[in-house]
Amino acid sequence: MIERLQHRFALSRKGAEDMVKACISVTVTNMAFMMSAGVLYKLISDLLDGTLSTDRLPFYIIGIIVILILIVITNFIQYNATFLSTYKESGVRRTTLAERLRKLPLSFFGKKDLSDLTATIMADCAQIETASSHWIPEFIGALISTGIVGISMFIFFDWRMALASFWVIPAAFFIVYASTRAQKNAVKKLYSCKLELGDGVQECLEAVRDLRANNAQDTYMDGLEKIIRKVEKESLFTELKLAVFVNSAAIVLKLGIATTALVGGTLLANGEITLLTFFMFLMIVSRLYDPMQITMQNFAAIIAATVQCERLDEVLSHDIQTGTDRMTNKGYDIAFDHVSFSYDDTAVLSDVSFTAKQGEVTALIGPSGGGKTTVSRLAARFWDIDRGKITLGGMDISKVDPETLFSAYSIVFQDVTLFNQSVMENIRIGRKGATDEEVMRAARLANCDEFVGRLPDGYDTLIGENGSELSGGERQRISIARAFLKDAPVILLDEATASLDAENETQIQEALSELIRNKTVLIIAHRMRTIANADHIVVLKDGTVAEEGSPDELYEKNGIYRHMAEQQIAAQNWKM
């Protein structure tokens, strides 16, 4: 049961155990409230029988006091078991989710966009928090306590009156339960619309300059307006679906009052039940049906929340990349041995074999879509391959924990990610605990001094979200400075100098020549001048190794490499 709760509501084991305790505490609290009805029944019975005396009066007074104390205690326990435990579990859930995301392969993130994952971490977690603290314990507790009362009425009082009073409850639950598929489909459709709206808003904010530059803001806003109207329409439709089933269940519940009164009146007229029994059943249904309407709403909300639970469980149950935390490599040669890789059933690499040797610069070139970036990502185990083997110094990288493996890599991507912190802290990401002097030395090697000196607070200047206060070339140099600071034995450069002008590119390449000495370097570049001094070149086309060798050897072959080199020379000489 605990494991089912974990998957059903995206809980930790302790969270599932706490949910069971919460349901029990709500049940006990409900039963404590119902005890007052039992005392009232006994009191009226004594009044009608004429047996109420001053000797029995203390019994009722003490009983009422005991029930009040019990209600206070059970409410206190219920609060701790539902709300406090839920808030703690919510923190655990978010932390667990973050840890899980950290260990997932990048193939998972390729299927999810930023707004989708943000919604999972923020909105879905908040929804499950509300469900765990308000809906689920209240629903289960009401279900159990009502069942106990119903069974007691059948056994200890009159089964005909019990049937007349309680038949509506399973009927109402069935109506709401019958809406499960319709509700889930409606919520999924609404969620899809909300994610589309989130993507649209984010894209609008990111591309506002381009939209204005091309006078396209009105056209874009018209499209965004349509998405907003779509979300509004789906929200109303989802609420309408929920209202139809819940209100239908509420109407059925109200029929219970009529059947109780009708059956009770008939039995009372025939002398088959006492007036007190009739009164007690009327009192029970009057106290029971209104809370049961709220329970029906909770039930419907729980059904709707299963969509968020499934989204969370998709992340928490997804296979993670695992491996040993010990590096057993001998040297840092990277060898691809008949590697094949597919992404979403689309073949990206097929039977790729080559070796990037330590102390050499190995360049990956070729037409766009040939698999260059994929090869560099696979070399660092961003994804796991389908067939073949990738080794680092003879060590199979698929057997090593990714975080342990990353300690051997310095990576400079074409798309730089920066944080809204100081220049100093953005570079220090390369090696946690590095001193300010070490950070500034790495910055100088990456030619960052030139622009940092112009910033108002130098290295302490905040650079905005994703480095919005810097140019593309300045952002790229910070990324290169990180690589200098980390100083790892394997360096992956993916168009590392693409955002730099010719002068800065020359300076960075001179600095990189110091960084890459005696290291394994895998570089992706489209400009021939960037790889002019490479030791080994691998030409990738359509996911296969089309050519391989030194620059001179490939130029003599008169193949793809030579064609690309000549095309770039022609492009450089082109004039208006």
What is the DSSP secondary-structure string of 194-218? HHHHHHHHHHHHHTHHHHHHTT-HH
- Residue from 538, 105, 518 nearest 339 by CA: 538
Looking at residue 172, what is its pLDDT? 86
Residue from 391, 576, 359, 318 nearest 489 by CA: 359
CA dihedral 154, 157, 159, 161 (to 10 degrees): -120
Judge whether 2-316 and 414-487 match in fold.
no
pLDDT, position 511: 65
**Residue 513: is its pLDDT beyond 80?**
no
113-131 mean pLDDT: 76
State mean pLDDT over 158-172.
86
Return the CATH architecture of domain 414-487.
3-Layer(aba) Sandwich (3.40)
Determine the pLDDT at residue 438. Answer: 92
Is the confidence at residue 576, as pLDDT, over 60? Answer: no
The domain locations on the chain are 2-316, 324-408+491-496+517-576, 414-487
Give the pLDDT band of residue 260 (cuts 50, 70, 90): confident
- Determine the average pLDDT of the residues in 536-555: 87
Least confident of 194-198, 323-327, 405-409: 194-198
Q: What percent of the chain has pLDDT over 70?
A: 88
DSSP codes of every residue in 113-151: -HHHHHHIIIIIHHHHHHIIIIIHHHHHHHHHHHHHHHH
In angstroms, the CA 467 to CA 465 distance is 5
Q: Are 302 and 138 in contact (CB under 8 A)?
A: no
Of the two residues 312 and 543, the one the predictor is more confident about is: 543
Instruction: Tell me what pLDDT residue 108 has.
Output: 74
The closest alpha carbon to 78, from 2, 133, 34, 135, belongs to 133
Which pLDDT tens digit goes with each residue over 366-376?
Answer: 888 888 888 98
Average pLDDT over every residue of 529-537 = 79
Q: What is the mean pLDDT of the chain?
A: 81
Give dist(CA 425, CA 4) in Å, integer: 44
- Closest C-alpha to 127, from 252, 270, 306, 272: 306
Give the Cα separation of 70 and 36 in Å (integer).
11
Give CA–CA dist 575/560, Å, rounded. 25
| DSSP 8-state symbol, 326 | -
Q: At residue 570, does pLDDT exceed 60?
A: yes
Torsion, Cα 427 428 429 432, to 10 degrees, reads 170
Pick the CATH number of 2-316 from 2.60.120.260, 3.40.50.10540, 1.20.1560.10, 3.40.50.300: 1.20.1560.10
Asked: is 324-408+491-496+517-576 a CATH 3.40.50.300 domain? The reply is: yes
- Name the token pair of 478: 């910070």
* pLDDT class of 34 with cuts at 50, 70, 90: confident
- H helix or E strand, kind and range, residue 220: helix 217-269
Q: For position 47, what pLDDT does the model report?
A: 67
Looking at this protein, which amino acid is placed at residue 389? K
Nearest residue to 412 via CA among 442, 390, 441, 392: 442
**Residue 46, pLDDT score:** 65
pLDDT average, residue stretch 446-452: 83
CA atoms within 13 A on the CB side of 354: 23
* Confidence class for position 359, pLDDT limits 50, 70, 90: confident
Closest residue by Cα to residue 356 from 514, 545, 499: 545
The burial of 10, by beta-carbon neighbours within 10 Å (0-12 exposed, 13-18 middle, 19 or more buried), is given as: buried
